[in-house]
Structure 1
Amino acid sequence: MKVLALAARNPFFGPLAALLVLIVLFSVTTSTFFSAQNFSVILQQSVVIGTLALGQTLIILTAGIDLANGAILVVGALVMAQLAQGQPPAAQFGILLVGFLVCGGLALVSGVLVARFALPAFIVTLGMYTMLTAGARLYSQQTLVVPDGPLTVLGTGGYLFGVFQITIGVFVVIASVIVLHYVLTRTAWGRHVYAVGGNPTAARRTGINVRRVLLVVYLVAGLLYALGAWQAFGRSPATSANVFGTANLDTISAVVIGGTSLFGGRGTVIGSYFGTLIVLVLQSGLTQMGLDPLYQQVLTGALVIAAVALDQFTRRVERLA
């Protein structure tokens, strides 16, 4: 019971503990997992899905869900890549702004349908996912490569302590986690987000503008998806309509494993980032153990189910307390 109470006060405690257990487990069972190079690769792999997971967290905290986040990223990336063809590096600053406007606008469309017309977030974002996936293929059926410049700068970096390679993108995603955690836990808007997810009717009766909160949540999530597209260029300058096809499911897995409740009102962005790292550590460790990738998917799915079951159990304990 004390462990549950600690986890309730610090929702990221459980994901952090699970992450540390996995690191110890794979460090003991393999000879290659515990190395600066491997940890560096895992961190660099976390930047895109980790950034998308932050936006997904905001929406799930309001008891919604976003199935279109990966598709929004792809559309934004394609638009930026298309505009960058043949342009000098200096023009990429304006192109980045266009990308943020595109992704923010697309996410805001979902927000308007959810907030103003009270449509279910699942249905709205499923429809957006379907349309944007098809739209991305209609927009460009070829692989586009952006030239070096501001669009790819997040992939540059150096070495910490001479052995640990790290990129600017890793610092950006960690800074994003810290800023969002502060906003959600130390500002009135953050408290409103949790209140809307916990009980929108009660939130409305206390004077919270539920519609406005939802609109801002979807807009901020869209801007984070644009940041994810920027991170993707740092990982690889090439993009196409066929990338990040499972990003929606990957981010939902990361958020749920990270301790955020699918029923809204509970969770942290820190936990979601830990959830992203858990999935990547699991994939890396099992690969180095020689386990078939299909088993990795089985274990990831089992973790998601276990996380939801734990959330339900914790809620029952709190109701009985």
Structure 2
Amino acid sequence: MSSGGNVEGGNPILKVADLVKEFPVRKGFGGKLTGGTRAVDQVSFDVAAGETLGLVGESGSGKSTTARCIVRLLTPTSGEIDFRGNDLAKMSRRAMRDVRREMQMVFQDPVASLDPRMTVNEIIAEPLRVFRQYRNEGGPQRVRELLDTVGLKAEHANRYPREFSGGQRQRVGIARALALDPKLLVLDEPVSALDVSIQAQIINLLQDLQREYNLSYLFIAHDLDVVRHISDRIAVMYQGKIVEIGDREQIFDNPQDRYTQSLLSAVPITDPSLRGTKQRITMD
């Protein structure tokens, strides 16, 4: 098990069953519909309370599309997304509003995900205002608490995103995601845009937050070292499908699917004495 949350005996907080997302394909001047492409194809998995499930695969495998369907930034074509007894796939936009208090997303690019015209205080306070939890002195105090929780200072509240480093911006994004005390965070490549040393800091922060608040994570990444460090279980995605899912040790020590074996064979070996000892596997 990772050093994240305690998942022993945890019941699933999220259950995804046969999730499908198709995008229409149009051609010609009039944009005539000629078919569709399946970005997500019959995907099923669950996330236990307090668990980190890593979702890994190469670019274009459907990981981010899966994440956006779960939080309903995209509407699924079919399938079920059971979050704490609610089927999100069938929920209206209005009904989803209340669910968003308990499920939040942290995006890959901390620059694009933060409004450059808003101060950090305004960014973090926005979900509190939307759900009418920002009242008098209670609101500013909550913002200060969130800044402290993610390792930022109170004086950072009046600054703009452009005044921060990439790692600091991602901390702001995490603080915003935590504002409403969610139960599940969907983390879409949250450290891939950061330097390696900063990646480690953000991963450690996420693990500390998980322990403190008993959070569940769906952690999406293509970096196998990061996924191995933070995940309790790992699901491997290839061409829109889950090809293998299991405990961290099972996936890394005894992968069953050929694509999983190929992914692991492509991981660089930093120890010169071990180079040449691993056979490269291709998908030909």
Q: TM-score category by the smaller chain? A: under 0.3
Higher RCO, 1 vs 2 (CA within 8 Å, ≥6 residues apart):
1
TM (normalized to structure 2)? Answer: 0.26
Structure richer in strand, relative to its length: 2
